[in-house]
Amino acid sequence: MSQLTLQQKTFLLLLGIVTIAFGWILLPYAGAIFWGVILAIVFAPVYRWVLQKTKGRATLSSMLVLLLILVIVILPLSLISGALVNQVASVVEMVKAGDVTVAGFFGKVMDVLPAWAISLLDRFNLTNLASLQDKLTAGVSQVSQVVAVKAINIGLYTFDFLTSLGILMYLLFFLLRDGAALTARIRAAIPLSRKYKQRLFNNFTTVIRATVKGNILIAIAQGALGGMIFWFLDVRAALLWGVLMAFLSLLPAIGAALVWAPVAIYFLATGSIWQGVTLIAFGVLVIGLVDNLLRPVLVGKDTKMPDYVVLLSTVGGMALFGLHGFVIGPIVAAMFIAAWDLFATASEFHTE
Q: What are the tens digits of pLDDT across the range 332-348?
A: 888 888 778 777 776 55
Structure confidence at residue 311 (pLDDT): 75
Distance CA 212, CA 195 (A): 26
CB 319 within 8 A of CB 325: yes
Of the pLDDT bands very low, low, confident and very high (cuts 50, 70, 90), residue 20 is very high
Domains in the chain: boundaries: 193-352
What pLDDT was estimated at residue 207? 77
Residue 124 has pLDDT above 70, yes or no: no
Give residue-wise pLDDT tens across range 96-109: 555 555 555 555 55
Residues above pLDDT 90, as percent of the chain:
3
Nearest CA-CA partner of 195 in 19, 348, 51, 89? 348
Average pLDDT over residues 92-98: 59
Residue 6 pLDDT: 80
Q: What is the mean pLDDT of residues 114-131?
A: 58
pLDDT in tens, 268-312: 777 778 888 888 888 888 887 777 777 666 665 666 677 777 778
What is 43-68 written as a DSSP string?
THHHHHHHHHHTTS-HHHHHHHHHHH
% of the chain at pLDDT higher than 70:
70
**Average pLDDT value for the chain:** 75
pLDDT at 151 over 50: no
Q: Which of 63, 64, 73 is nearest to 39 (CA)?
A: 73
pLDDT in tens, 297-308: 666 566 667 777
Residue 346 makes CB contacts below 8 A (sequence gap 6+) with 196
